[in-house]
Amino acid sequence: MKRREFLATSAALTAAGLLPGTLLSEAVKQENEKKFPKPLEFQMVGDTKEFELFIDIAQQEPVPEFEFHTLSFNNQIPGPEIRVNRGDKVRVKFKNKTELNHTIHWHGLHVPWRMDGVPYVTQMPVMSQQEFVYEFVAEPYGTHFYHCHWGTLLHMQSGMFGSIIIEEPKDDPIKKKFPYEREYTLIYSAHDTNFIRGELNYMLDRMKERMYLMKNGRFDKERFATFDTKEQFLEAIKNGYSPPYTINRRAPSELPQPQWFTVNGKSYPMTPTLYINEGENIRVRLINAGQLEHSLHLHGHDFWLVCDDGLPVPQPWQQNTARLSPGKTLDIIIEGKNRGIWTFHDHDTSRVTNNGLYPGGTLMALVYEDMPPEEAELDMMAKKMGLKSLPIVALDE
Amino acid sequence: MFKQKLFLSLFSAVIMFALKYPAYPQVTPEIQLGARGVMSFNVDRASGETASAVNDFSDSGPLVGFRQKLYNNFRGQLVIGFQFPDADSDLGQLFFHQVFLKIEDQSNILKMGRSRVRTALIEFPTLRDDDALHFTDVLNPFSAGENSEDNQYGNVLEGTHIFGQRYWLRLHGEHFTETPTAPGAAETDFSLNAIGLSFAYRVPASQRWNRPILDQVGISFNNFLTNRPGDFSEFEQALKNIIVSTVVNVKPNPMHFLDVRHQTIYNVGFGEFTELNEYADLARTKAIGTFTSLRYLYRSLERPTMQLALSFGYKTFPDLANATEQFQVVANGFYRLGENFDVGLQFQYQKFNGDLRGILGSNEARIQFALIYSIDQLWNNQFDDRDSLLNLEHGYIP
């Protein structure tokens, strides 16, 4: 069998598992639900909602047959979703199960500054096997996220992010304007898997050495490349200390070049599907936890942009392409007004690729689940190819 | 001449264009470039005579590797490398010491081609690989001893299976170079002339900070398929060697690291060799050789700074009519000037007794001042190594 024929066959086989006949089945929908962040259970301790998070090393599989080592909260990528009400007292008990350092930064939340999770500014890093307890009052309302703030360039593209949603259960400003029942959280990220692999190995090796020295009382702050003041840093350089970014040490020649793009940890064709019915409004919470900007375009619809960085915008406005910058969250309302199967994707099409090959990445679909089957019928050509109905997952080059 | 230059230029341009724009997309391999430069100023004093070499650059050379993923979780690799051998080695200006293909998965390795033969289980901290060759390697009984490469490199076919990340079982067959050949003639017989089996416990390098005291222990059986003169069975014609080795991390401290390396080679030998008439007899008479190194490594600010090593070798030949022994001491120190760039000083002294005096002289002393630079760069990195921390401790990803 020639390579191209083999690819065509494999594409057809993949498609067989995702045919619309089954796409609208309960089993497939239940499977799709697993592609969204799972709510994190909490315990009421007095008047405080207490959550538990841990970090460990895991393997991420954005698509079948491609895995890479990464970090994860509670063995989930993205981490579990924390949902609280505005004004709730929140306690997050955080355990670091890795041999690396970490913190948690609550992105967009008005936490006390000592809870902000910035190493050496608001707290010391949470070292291996250590615990740290974050406490804050949930403010402000809206879609936010948490992420590690240690080695941010590496750790954020290594699965260390999750959503935190602060609700107004009785008086949601968006629900008032756009009544909805269903909502979805989509967290975007971009990964240079070669950078992640190299850096994780290097940092694990370095931290093993440091932990050995710590146990033997031979560790000092210069080894940690940490200084009390800038003057101390300059003095250390005079005495022979060579910073890692200098070209006679280990400075890498290039910044990370992401070649995998994920939504909720998955790349097309494994990205989640957004279901909608005619006449229904759905709320989609978009979070960019990666380092690249995404230009998210929905076919066949103009959605309402209702929140920016979690904050309700004074006057929602319609658009069909949303610019999701790094660190930003946007909430959109999609009105079910145009029955069909519609593509929702990054219009920077370099991010609609897997390892450099189109299609892939952040490509996903909005599916009307009340669509009559006859509307999804295929044309003669597709039938001749042995396909049955739309949407087809095609991976041929 | 002009036509030749023009042809070469056009040919090069076509090749470069073809490499840059292949006719159809191909798997981009990982490209590994290694290189080592060892330059030393030597002063020798052998059996009362002094000589010096302004610049000895033997053992220097590049190594290029290409590696890609295959189907079914295997990886394929091509390695090509050459060295500048010793000036009196009879090997010419360049010696291709590594030209091999390898396929491997998590626990199996198949290797074919020219490469390092399995005549040693471990490496020792000497300036050059062959500085203590008579102690550190099983000697090639087919060699006339004109160079060390005959003992270290050959055409190999070997299979390895790795159990539980640390136990290496290896079956290997080799063609060792046979010298001398007739004047002006090239070697034409490349048939199998050695087979062997080894078993070793090795702590992967990435586990070095997990405080392993026992780093390596191994045993190896090597058999050279010789044409032993006389009425002997095939089994009796095989020259048998046993190697036992250990590496112990006496002080596995990252700042002040201390390890001891030891290897003993027992050459069962042929009983009829009771005197040494020529160099090849050295490898055919019974011999017990042992070599031990004590190495201290100082790492300042997470980077190697200085290494000091002291090594001793002793070898005896019990079947020889004259009591014959061989001693060697090697002391060296290296100081790191920059990433992978070292300056070094090595002193070695060898003493020969009995029959060895007729072949190697009575003693030899050598002082070497050296600069050493090695690089190991990887482009198009796409997958992890078997022994990486992630693959060993967090699940292997093919």
What does the pLDDT read at residue A397? 53
* pLDDT of A3 over the 70 cut: no
Q: Same structural domain for residues A177 and A203? A: no
Count of beta carbons in the 10 Å neighbourhood of residue A261: 27
A134 in a domain, yes or no? yes
Is any Cβ of chain A less than 8 angstroms from the Cβ of B49? no
Question: Could you give the CA distance from residue B152 to residue B124 in angstroms, rounded to a whole number?
Answer: 14
Q: Same structural domain for residues A231 and A268? A: no
Question: Could you give the CA distance from residue A110 to residue A345 in angstroms, rounded to a whole number?
Answer: 32
Range in A180-189, A381-390, B158-167 with the lowest mean pLDDT: A381-390
A333 in a domain, yes or no? yes
Residue of B nearest to A247 (CA): B339
Is any Cβ of chain A less than 8 angstroms from the Cβ of B254? yes
Is any Cβ of chain A less than 8 angstroms from the Cβ of B230? no
* pLDDT of B15 over the 70 cut: no
Rg (chain B; Cα; Å): 23
DSSP summary character for residue A119: B
Question: Could you give the CA distance from residue B168 to residue B303 in angstroms, rounded to a whole number?
Answer: 30
The more confidently predicted of residues B17 and B280 is: B280
Query: Contacts of residue B206 in chain A, CB cutoff 8 Å?
Result: 201, 205
Of A204, A216, A249, the CB nearest to B339: A249
Q: Same structural domain for residues A70 and A46? A: yes
Instruction: Kindly state the tokens that stand for B142.
Output: 């087919």
Tell which of A254, A280, A302 closes a domain.
Answer: A254
A35 in a domain, yes or no? yes
Q: Are strands A281-288 and A182-191 parallel, antiparallel or unpaired?
A: parallel
What does the pLDDT read at residue B335? 97
Q: What are phi and psi of A305, to 5 degrees?
A: -85, 115
* pLDDT of B118 over the 90 cut: yes
**Structural domain count of chain A:** 2
Q: Same structural domain for residues A219 and A345? A: no
* pLDDT of A20 over the 60 cut: no
Question: Could you give the CA distance from residue B394 to residue B398 in angstroms, rounded to a whole number?
Answer: 13
Check B389 against A218: CB less than 8 A apart.
no
What pLDDT band is residue A7 in, cutting at 50, 70 and 90?
Answer: very low
B15-35 average pLDDT score: 77
Check A67 against B397: CB less than 8 A apart.
yes
- Chain A nearest-CA distance from B206, in A, is 7
Q: Is B7 helix (H, G, I), strand (E, B) or coil?
A: helix
Q: Same structural domain for residues A288 and A226? A: no
A233 in a domain, yes or no? yes
Instruction: Kindly state the tokens that stand for A303.
Output: 């959605």
Of A68, A208, A242, the CB nearest to B209: A208
A319 in a domain, yes or no? yes
Q: Same structural domain for residues A187 and A199? A: no
- Which of B68, B297, B301, B392 is most worth mutating to test chain A (most A CB atoms within 10 A of its CB)? B301
Q: Which residues contact A397 (CB under 8 A, 6 or more apart)?
A: A7, A357, B25
- Chain B nearest-CA distance from A55, in A, is 14
CA max distance for chain A: 78
Residue of B nearest to A241 (CA): B301
- Chain A nearest-CA distance from B255, in A, is 8
A96 in a domain, yes or no? yes
What does the pLDDT read at residue B26? 81
Is any Cβ of chain A less than 8 angstroms from the Cβ of B54? no
Of B301, B388, B394, the CB nearest to A57: B394
Q: Same structural domain for residues A198 and A169? A: no
Q: Which residues contact B330 (CB under 8 A, 6 or more apart)?
A: B126, B131, B132, B293, B309, B310, B311, B313, B346, B347, B348
Range in B269-273, B312-316, B345-349 with the lowest mean pLDDT: B269-273
Asked if A370 contacts A280 with a C-beta cutoff of 8 angstroms, the reply is: no
Residue of B nearest to A249 (CA): B339
Query: Contacts of residue B394 in chain A, CB cutoff 8 Å?
Result: 57-59, 69
Phi-psi region of B109 (alpha: psi -120 to 50; beta: other; left: phi over 0): beta
Count of beta carbons in the 10 Å neighbourhood of residue A208: 21
Question: Could you give the CA distance from residue B160 to residue B171 in angstroms, rounded to a whole number?
Answer: 6
What does the pLDDT read at residue B259? 95
Q: Which residues contact B45 (CB under 8 A, 6 or more apart)?
A: B51, B364, B365, B366
Query: Contacts of residue B254 in chain A, CB cutoff 8 Å?
Result: 209, 212-213
Residue of B nearest to A221 (CA): B301
Q: Is A11 helix (H, G, I), strand (E, B) or coil?
A: helix
What pLDDT band is residue B353 in, cutting at 50, 70 and 90?
Answer: very high
Residue of B nearest to A197 (CA): B384
A288 in a domain, yes or no? yes
Residue A123: half-sphere exposure toward Cβ, Cα within 13 Å: 22
What pLDDT band is residue B22 in, cutting at 50, 70 and 90?
Answer: low
A385 in a domain, yes or no? no
Q: Same structural domain for residues A223 and A136? A: no
Q: How far is CA B115 from the centre of its chain?
A: 9
* pLDDT of A212 over the 50 cut: yes
Q: Same structural domain for residues A79 and A42? A: yes
* pLDDT of B104 over the 90 cut: yes
Question: Could you give the CA distance from residue A312 to residue A324 in angstroms, rounded to a whole number?
Answer: 16
Q: Same structural domain for residues A187 and A322? A: yes
Residue of A nearest to B30 (CA): A194
Exposed e or buried b per residue across A285-308, where buried means at least 16 C-beta atoms within 10 angstroms of its C-beta: bbbbbbbbbbebebeebebbbbbe
- Which of A60, A154, A197 is most worth mutating to test chain B (most B CB atoms within 10 A of its CB)? A197
Asked if B258 contacts B251 with a C-beta cutoff of 8 angstroms, the reply is: yes
Question: Could you give the CA distance from residue A315 to residue A323 in angstroms, rounded to a whole number?
Answer: 17
Q: Is the peptide bond before A80 cis (omega within 30 degrees of 0)?
A: no
Q: Same structural domain for residues A178 and A200? A: no
* pLDDT of A2 over the 50 cut: no
CA max distance for chain B: 70
How does pLDDT run across A234-282, given as a tens digit for each residue? 998 898 888 888 888 776 667 889 999 999 999 999 999 999 999 999 9
Tell which of A254, A269, A300 closes a domain.
Answer: A254
What does the pLDDT read at residue A16? 35
DSSP string covering A257-307: ---EEEETTB-TTSS-EEEE-TT-EEEEEEEE-SSS-EEEEETT--EEEEE
Instruction: Kindly state the tokens that stand for B272.
Output: 């009829």
The more confidently predicted of residues A309 and B231 is: A309
Query: Contacts of residue A216 in chain B, CB cutoff 8 Å?
Result: 253
Check A212 against B394: CB less than 8 A apart.
no
Phi-psi region of A370 (alpha: psi -120 to 50; beta: other; left: phi over 0): alpha
What does the pLDDT read at residue A19? 42
Check A68 against B382: CB less than 8 A apart.
no
What pLDDT band is residue A11 in, cutting at 50, 70 and 90?
Answer: very low
Helix, strand and coil in chain B, % to nearest 5: 15, 50, 35
Check B255 against A69: CB less than 8 A apart.
no
Of B210, B338, B390, the CB nearest to A200: B390
B133-155 average pLDDT score: 91
* pLDDT of A359 over the 80 cut: yes
A172-183 average pLDDT score: 96
Print the domain residue range for A177: 25-193+259-370
- Chain A nearest-CA distance from B210, in A, is 7
Check B389 against A201: CB less than 8 A apart.
yes
DSSP summary character for residue A373: G
Is any Cβ of chain A less than 8 angstroms from the Cβ of B389? yes
Residue found under tokens 């409004």: A281
Exposed e or buried b per residue across B116-150, where buried means at least 16 C-beta atoms within 10 angstroms of its C-beta: ebbbbbbebbbbbbbbbbbbbbbbbbbbbbebbbb
What does the pLDDT read at residue A264? 97
What does the pLDDT read at residue B2? 58
Query: Contacts of residue A128 in chain B, CB cutoff 8 Å?
Result: none
What pLDDT band is residue B21 in, cutting at 50, 70 and 90?
Answer: low
What pLDDT band is residue A206 in, cutting at 50, 70 and 90?
Answer: confident
Check B397 against A68: CB less than 8 A apart.
yes
Burial of A45 (0-12, 13-18, 19+ CB in 10 A): exposed
Check A197 against B384: CB less than 8 A apart.
yes
Check A213 against B254: CB less than 8 A apart.
yes
Question: Could you give the CA distance from residue B112 to residue B104 in angstroms, rounded to a whole number?
Answer: 12
How does pLDDT run across A130-166, given as a tens digit for each residue? 999 999 999 999 999 999 998 877 877 787 899 999 9
- Chain B nearest-CA distance from A197, in A, is 7
Q: Is A193 helix (H, G, I), strand (E, B) or coil?
A: helix
Check A208 against B210: CB less than 8 A apart.
yes
CATH code of the domain in which A344 resides: 2.60.40.420
Check A201 against B206: CB less than 8 A apart.
yes
Is any Cβ of chain A less than 8 angstroms from the Cβ of B209? yes
Q: Are strands A89-96 and A48-63 parallel, antiparallel or unpaired?
A: parallel
Tell which of A204, A231, A254 closes a domain.
Answer: A254
Check A249 against B255: CB less than 8 A apart.
no
Is any Cβ of chain A less than 8 angstroms from the Cβ of B377? no
Average pLDDT, chain A: 88
Q: How far is CA A361 from the centre of its chain?
A: 13
Query: Contacts of residue A197 in chain B, CB cutoff 8 Å?
Result: 381, 384, 388, 390
A64-80 average pLDDT score: 95
Question: Could you give the CA distance from residue A75 to residue A136 in angstroms, rounded to a whole number?
Answer: 24
Check B395 against A204: CB less than 8 A apart.
no
Query: Contacts of residue B382 in chain A, CB cutoff 8 Å?
Result: 194
* pLDDT of A10 over the 70 cut: no
Instruction: Kindly state the tokens that stand for B361.
Output: 């002289």
Q: Same structural domain for residues A248 and A293? A: no
What does the pLDDT read at residue B234? 85
Query: Contacts of residue A201 in chain B, CB cutoff 8 Å?
Result: 206, 384, 388-390
